[in-house]
Structure formats: C-alpha cells, structure tokens
A and B are shown apart, each in its own frame.
Chain A
Amino acid sequence: MNRYLAFFKKEIIEYIRTYKLLIMLIVFAIFGITNPLIAKLLPEIMKNLATDGFVITLPDPTAYDAWTQFFKNATQMGFIVTLILFSGVLSSEYSKGTLINLLTKGLSRTTVILTKYFSMVLVWTICIILCFILTYGYTVYLFPNDITYNLLFSVFCLWMFGLLLLAILMFSATLTKSSYGCLLITGIIVVFFMIIDIIPSIHKYNPISLVTDNMGLIMNSIKVSSLYLANLISVLLSIISLILSIVVFRKKQL
C-alpha cells in the first residue's frame, strides 16, 4: 500500500509541476462558464449576424441549451484535451528511462499501471465536478425557471465514459512506445464504438451511448434504466483494459 501511495504522490507532483493539472482545471473551468454563456448568447449572435433580408430566428434559450453545450464541450474538447495531456502517461517514462530506476527498487509493474490509472481518474473526476458545478450554478442563475431531469445520472454517465477512455488510453500506452501511437490506438477504439452504434440493437450495450443519450436523459425522453447496461459494460471493459495493460506491461522489455 505504501508503494501505491508513494508512487501516487509522485504522479500528483508530476501533474502539478508539469502544469497538467493546471491546464485541466482551467480548461474545464472555462468550459463550465462558457456552456451557459454560449447558450444564452447564441440567439443574440445570430441576430447580429443576420443582415438585410436574411433573418435567422432561434427560440429563446433554455437550460437545455446550456446542458447541450456542457455535454458537447465535455465530450469533444474535454475528452480531446484530457487524452492529449495524458497520452504521455507511459511514453514519457519509456523515452527517458525514469521508470527503470524505480522498478529495480521493487516497485511492481502492476502498481505502476493501477496508480497511474487512478491518478488520471482522480484528475478527471475533479475536473468534471468543477465543470459541472460551474455550469450548474450559471445555468440556474440565467435560467432559473427551467426544470431538468436526471441531471446527476446523466453527468455520471459522462464520467463513466471518461473512466473507460482512460482505461483504454492506459492499455494503448502499454502497446506502443510513443504518445502519438497511444492516442491513435485510443482514437481507433473510440471510432469503432461509434461505427457499431449504427446498429440500433447494439446501442443499449454500447458505451458510446453514455455520451450520446445525455440530453435525452435530461429531457426525460430516455429512461435511466436504458443506460444501466452500457454503464455495466463500461465498467467491465475498463477492468478488462486494465488487466490487459498489466499483462502486457509485465511482459514488456524496458
């Protein structure tokens, strides 16, 4: 346990001193604030853009628009920034050989993988909570009368998908030596989830539904129970990814 804690501390120090934590926090805070702001301003902007004879009228913005922004930003930009920042999770250690020293001191490779994964999960969790609180606060401030449903569960699904992505990123990192290779493999796996989503019968099992069905949940057009399976499968896939990472990493020649 002490080794987990020692290596965990090292990871957190690394995130702080290499500015990774700072970037994550600022980016997610900016998203948190801009989500409701964009929702509010979009009709105004459209109005100003519209010049003679060509008028685009948007309906008055609601809390739903703010949450649409939240789920769009977090899933696209948020995940991209997170994955890019964490893509060097192992490659930065490979390329410099910094891990060898610690491994020869009796640090097990399993500890390395699990600690690195849970450090990333911790940062991701803090960021998504920060982003959620900011969006929630400003949305209530701007649209006090709008009612949303299943909000926490919907964010939980998004968070769960993040856990899966990070587990896949961890596994990809054990397969290649470079951070680009790691990103590429993760990207391919995500695209694979998107492609199989074309088949409607798979949708309820497909983890991608955790980031596509959020608005449906909030508007109460999708039942909470319909996402239980996708959550369960995400958890299973995350665990499998981590086990595979450990298996591959233990046999890796450093």
Chain B
Amino acid sequence: MEGITSEAFILGCSAIGAGLAMIAGIGPGIGQGNAAARACEAVGRQPEAQGDITRTMLLGQAVAETTGIYGLVIAIILLFVRPLMTYYVGLGL
C-alpha cells in the first residue's frame, strides 16, 4: 500500500471498527420493538392498566437497550479517543 501513512491506515481502520460496532444496534431495536408490540396488545386487552403497562415497558426497554449502548460507547471511543492511535504513537514506531 503505497501512499498511505500508518497513521491514516489506523484512523481508517478505527472508523471501520466504529461502523461495525454499531451493528449492535440491531438487537436492541428488535427487542424494543417486541416489547412495544406486546405493550400495545396488553393495553388493548386492559386499557385501564395503561399507566402501569407503559412504565413497565419503558423500564424493560431501557434494560434491553444496554447492549446497544455498549456498542455505541465502543464506537465513540474508537472515533474520538483513538486508543489504537495512542498505542501506536506510544510504541514509537
């Protein structure tokens, strides 16, 4: 690979890694959609319990979101903190 500096290569790979990390968003999306669908059914069956159902649904969705947030945090770290770059510079190569 001529014409590409090592720093640019590391930055590019970090960007690709950040993009790949965001694939983690698929799981929470499906999970939260499922929870919302079930909550809709429950409200349809029992409209008087809407407050409780909404609260439980939001709580469950927040917990289901955790894995997606982990992916997001890794993507943010790769893009803005650039640990690989720091490691490379620290090696003094």
Do A and B interact?
no
Show the binding face of A for B, using Cβ within 8 Å: none
